[in-house]
Structure 1
Amino acid sequence: TGSGGNGSANTGGGGGGGGNSGGGASTGGSGVVILRWLISSGTITVGAGLTADATTTSGSYYVKRITAGSGNVSWT
């Protein structure tokens, strides 16, 4: 018996399956959106309904991770 474990947050990982004697399956992890764009392309504006990490750089690119919410992203 036994239930499966939940998926990890912000990975999109699936939840574990239940045991063969009636244990319940678990929920999947929440998703994540990762944006990567050339620094020379400008910056982005993340809408108020989205939860995002600070913009980081990786070589010639900006990187932004959005972990929750609903809304728009625009390039400026």
Structure 2
Amino acid sequence: MDAFALVPPEWTKSAVHAFDFCCPSCKTSPKEAKNVWLNRRAPVSMGDRRKYQEFYLCECQTSWWGWSDDRPTSELGTK
């Protein structure tokens, strides 16, 4: 699965919006997702920035999405 593919994978069709940026069913972090797809074809402009939908398929088989600017800051960026 290519996270940057132009065509969305089938599992994204049933995705629900997760407001806490984790799986809404089991609360697992997106780092543990089995698959990821980024919707780069429909960005939302926010002034001088853009945000994208990030889709995740959890290990519990729940598909969910969140906005790229809602994703918590990476631990790698703080070192």
Range of TM-score over shorter length:
under 0.3
Relative to the length of structure 1, the TM-score reads 0.25
Relative to the length of structure 2, the TM-score reads 0.25
Higher relative contact order (CA 8 A, sep 6+): 2
More helix by share: 2
